[in-house]
Chains A and B, each alone.
Chain A
Amino acid sequence: MGQAASGGLTQGDVDEVIAASKGVFNQAEIESLYKRFRALDRGHKGYISPEEFLSIPELSINPVAQRLVRCCECPNFTTFVKMVAPFSPRASREDKLVFMFTVYDVDGDGFISREDMSMMLKQLAGSSLSEEDRQDIISRVLAQAGGAERLDFPAFKSALSSADLGNMVVEIPVDL
């Protein structure tokens, strides 16, 4: 219920978005995300630019803010919802792992290579970790994760088999 979904969201759009995000969100959550999308998209361009994302203070102090923001280039509303989808309490563990893999795979070739890991570690651990130490860490990780030169998704998944991803949930504020 509540007020009509503001400016331009039709039921058809909602159905389409729900389908695109594999049904993890209900109608109220989609409406709420739309309100948020509109609030972030200041020029009403239909997509959110990296600067608009980084103007959120709590996001701009995040170490991997840059990667997150570039990960989904200027998302329109559907892409925005798909990005938040793995964090729904109804999302599967598989979805969460896929998302993490996509973020880690910087060049997007389906494998986490040494370069991908190097870039991510620069964002995660900063410049206080020397290049030499970084490469060392990467070698060890690759060795422990099966010995290949780069990680594919199954290797990534099994490396994280003991990880508790229960915290990887974001609640969408919904007004009743």
Chain B
Amino acid sequence: MGELVKGRVESSLPGLRGIVADDKDQEHALVTREGPTKGDAEIDQLYAEAEDKRLSKTSLLLDVLNISNVLTDGVSAMVDDSFNKCFTSTRPEPWNWNIYLFPIWVVGVVIRYLVLFPIRVTLLFIGFNTLIVVFLLVDLTLMPSKRKMAMQRKLVQWMCSAWVAAWHGVIRYHGPKPTPGKNRIWVSNHTSMIDYVVLCSYSPFAVIMQLHHGWIAFLQKRILSSLGCLWFNRTEVNDRAVVAARMKDHVNKEDAIPLLIFPEGTCVNNEYTVMFKRGAFDIGATVCPVAIKYNKIFVDAFWNSRREAFGKHLFRLMTSWALVCDVYFLEPQSIQPEESPQEFAGRVQAMIAKYANLRIVPWDGYLKYYNLGEKNPGLIEKRRRVLADVLRAYLGKTSAAPSAIALEKEGKAAVELQSDGKGQKGEVEGVALQGWRKLCVGGTVHPV
């Protein structure tokens, strides 16, 4: 997955294809391998400058009627876009296509589905259920005590190991094993729910997870809660303060079990990484990064929750030869004096991206669920204002710097324009929520 795709160089400003960009000019890159380089205001400014470059400013007819650039941007995004690339799995080239290899492949399939799979399922069934029973026994019979907690943690660790064995996991752990410590929080890139299992079978963690449905919910509530796992709903996550308070609470406990956060907020395909949310970086704790890289040689561990049910995902894992994975425990990082939490998040993301060989993409993972234009009408307005200024120049009027009130009015007007007058009032946060709710209702949006 390189930068050049058949001679096409990716523009450094997402969504702006029509311009002749100085792509080699690293200064303009929004995100380099070292992390995000620009703040929001600067990014808006870059877009405005790019728009300005595209206008002729000499011919009124051209500037008004020649919409080729903006149309090219639009259609280009329809055909391919960098956000979508984060959630696609590339299908491996079939290698079984000749008379010699095909029978071997068939034998392989037979073994995997008819021999390995039943064995694994049986062992898993026995092992896992035994452990659950023991766990519930311990839970119900013993009084809360340090020993009980230690036993429960050990049991959960064994349960996860049982699962890893069921997938025939070949996992290499690099770096020092995590030890619980006050005011520490662990962050990792996210590919699938099995990330948690892979980590937990080595060293127990608590997580903040989306509460699911069905049998997973039972597991989550009954067993993982004992580890101190925290649950949320995506609606509640918008209330950053609540989650932040819970996190702070947890890391300040004396013998707190290490808390693991997935700052991307959603499963990504292990080739890219989307924006790290700053929540975990904002609570004043030391951040211990973990990088997880799956080797796709036998199976692709990415769980595309919109294409695949979790059960099917597990089935796929259990009918492949092995699950190969590298886990890197990296050096703990603290926030530097002049760093903002977002910059801190970016720096840690760059570290993880380097070890796990991921490309950083400047989009928010939650974009899967709502419309960026609605959430950030300021950017569109800035771009529009560039043309407005040029047109006013033709009329002989110079543009005055807009007042704060005028800007706010423009922002609201922009939101109305973008939503085609569907009457979305309120602040930007409210708009985002409504946009997401709008997509949720009547759609099959999986929580992850």
Contact = CB atoms under 8 A, between A and B. Distances in A.
Interface of A: 3, 33, 36, 39-40, 42-43, 51, 53-66, 68, 83-84, 87, 96, 99-100, 103-104, 117, 120-129, 133, 136-137, 140-141, 144-145, 156, 159-160, 162-163, 165, 167-175
Interface stretch (B26-34, B322-330, B413-421): B413-421
26 contacts: A55-B367, A55-B368, A57-B372, A58-B14, A59-B15, A64-B70, A65-B373, A96-B68, A99-B71, A126-B385, A126-B410, A126-B417, A127-B410, A128-B381, A128-B388, A128-B389, A137-B391, A145-B65, A159-B61, A163-B66, A168-B18, A168-B68, A168-B71, A172-B79, A173-B5, A175-B90
B373 A127 contact: no
B402 interface: yes
B71 A68 contact: yes
Main secondary structure of the interface of A (DSSP, over half): helix
A163 B69 CA distance: 11
Nearest to A121: B64
B229 to A, nearest CB: 30
Interface residues of B, number: 77
B240 interface: no
B36 to A, nearest CB: 15
Interface string B63-83: 011111111111111111111
Contact of A145 (B7, B61, B91, B410): B61
Nearest to B410: A127
A85 to B, nearest CB: 10
Main secondary structure of the interface of B (DSSP, over half): helix
Candidate in B391, B395, B399 with the most chain A CB atoms within 10 angstroms: B391
A57 B367 contact: yes
A51 B443 CA distance: 11
B6 A140 contact: no
Given A123-B384, A162-B62, 5 more contacts: A57-B372, A58-B81, A68-B71, A127-B381, A170-B17
A42 B410 contact: no
Contacts of B306: 42
B379 interface: yes
Interface in B174-197: none
Interface string B22-61: 0000000000000000000000000000000000000111
B77 A62 contact: yes
Contact of A133 (B19, B391, B413, B414): B391
A59 B80 contact: no
B15 A58 contact: yes
Contacts, number: 212
A125 B387 contact: yes
B84 interface: yes
Contact of B68 (A3, A51, A121, A165): A165
Contacts of A156: 65
B261 to A, nearest CB: 24
Interface in B386-433: 387-389, 391-392, 394-395, 397, 399, 402, 406, 409-410, 413-414, 417-418, 420
Given A58-B81, A128-B402, A3 B75 contact: no
Contacts of B59: 162
B336 interface: no
A42 B79 CA distance: 15
B272 to A, nearest CB: 13
B172 interface: no
A68 B75 contact: yes
B394 to A, nearest CB: 7
Contacts of B399: 128
Given A60-B371, A61-B379, A165-B68, A128 B384 contact: yes
Nearest to B18: A167
B65 A127 contact: no
Given A60-B372, A168-B68, A123 B385 contact: no
B109 interface: no
Given A59-B15, A141-B61, A160-B61, A136 B79 contact: no
A74 to B, nearest CB: 14
B274 to A, nearest CB: 10
Contacts of B8: 171, 173
B91 A3 contact: yes
